[in-house]
Amino acid sequence: MAELGVELAGVRLRNPFLLASGIWGESGASLAGAYRAGAAGVITKSIGAAPREGFPNPTIESYGSWGMLNAMGLPNPGIDDYPKEVEIALASGAPVIGSVFAGSAEEFGRLAERMAALGVVALELNLSCPHAEGFGTEVGGTPPEVERIVREVVDRVRIPVIAKITPNTTDAPALALAAERGGAAAVSAINTVRALAVDVRLRRPVLAHGLGGLSGPAVKPVGLACVWQIFERVRIPIVGVGGISTGEDALEYVMAGARALEVGTAVAVEGAGAFGRLARELSALLDELGIARLADAVGVAHAAR
């Protein structure tokens, strides 16, 4: 049986699969459920300084099996109300990674301190939400912004900081390099891909917010390209995310350069059972290919070039 355990920025994970931010992360019980079902760790919903209702509905549109469009608008209870959810999640034994978003480096720093104080094992900075005005890519879309925010946070907390990078850029590695310079322990890629749907009968965008972000199988090739390019230019570990729904998808990401993985849409589609299935599929695939430890496969596709 292949060894699926990996170490990410000093955090030991029993397998590479983390619950992606924004899926099930509003409540501690849901986070705990993901861990109990087999996730190696869970990333909270991105939490901000104040409660936010997010955008009005419709907030999601499905494309059937290949993709999902959403513009939730970063709804979250706010950091003041969130501690009890983290507590419940931690009580399950799950390594919890706290995701935060903010409108400035200073605010990121303050939030990060508060999140870190809750006992999370690492932080993920959402620098990449493609649709919320004043947040996400609007504050973390360029290398200098990424570097400044990461540095501010790294200076204020003692736990590893993961910078989550947008695919809506000409140059993802430049953003990852900026995160590395700022002191990030890892980068995760990708957040959703900017997208839109129109209802021709109603002559309007489907989502209340208009623009949203695409996730699910259709973005796997996009995420793989980002991870691939980042791996060629940065040294810190990469967390691969985007469209992972089979063990083979997972291994594609690992061979492209990811050390750990996040799963979002597939968990929503299938339920928590997705974690167990992914681990079983990945394990069987590694055995078939004679790979003893998943960690040995990180980035190997680059050697073939």
Partner 1 sequence: MRTVVRVVERIEETPSTVTLRFPYAPAAEPGQFVMLWIPGDDEIPMSLSYVEGDRKGVTVKAMGATSRHVLTIAPGDWIGLRGPYGNRFDLAPRRLLIVAGGSGAAVLAPGAERVVAGGGSVVVALGATRAPELLFRQRFAEMGARVEVATDDASAGFAGYVTGVAERLLAEEPFDAVWTCGPEVMMRKVLALADARGVPTFGSTERHMKCAIGMCDACAFGPFHVCTDGPVFSSGQLRSVPDFGVFHRDAAGRRVRF
Active site residues: 129
Distance CA 285, CA 248 (A): 7
Distance from the Cα of residue 46 to its chain's centroid: 10
Q: Is 221 in the site for its own copies (CB under 8 A)?
A: yes
Answer yes or no whether residue 228 interacts with its own copies by CB under 8 A: yes
Partner whose footprint covers residue 112, from partner 1, ligand FMN, its own copies, none (CB < 5 to 8 Å by kind): none
Residue 75 beta carbon to partner 1: minimum distance, rounded to whole angstroms? 6
Selection from 185, 146, 167, 169 nearest residue 226 by Cα: 167
Stretch that binds partner 1, among 10-18, 125-133, 142-150, 267-275 (CB under 8 A): 267-275
Tokens read off for 268: 């929503």
Question: Cα(101)–Cα(189) distance, rounded to whole angstroms?
Answer: 16
| CB 268, min distance to partner 1, A | 3
Q: Which is nearer to its own copies, 11 or 207 (CB)?
A: 207
Q: Confirm or reject binding of residue 246 to ligand FMN (CB under 6 A).
A: no
Q: Report the distance separating Cα 12 and Cα 5, nearest Å.
A: 7
- Tell me whether residue 273 is exposed, middle or buried, using C-beta atoms within 10 angstroms of its C-beta: 0 to 12, 13 to 18, 19 or more: exposed
Q: Is the distance from CB of 82 to CB of 116 less than 8 angstroms?
A: no
Q: Which part of the chain contacts partner 1 (CB under 8 A), choosing from 16-24, 112-120, 149-157, 245-253?
A: 16-24
Q: Find which of partner 1, ligand FMN, its own copies, none residue 241 binds, CB within 5 to 8 Å per kind.
A: ligand FMN
Toward partner 1, which CB reaches closer, 29 or 117? 29
Cβ atoms of 234 and 176 within 8 Å: the answer is yes
In the complex, the residues that contact ligand FMN under the rule CB under 6 A are 20-23, 45-46, 68, 70, 72, 74, 99, 126, 129, 164, 191-192, 215-216, 219, 241-244, 263-266
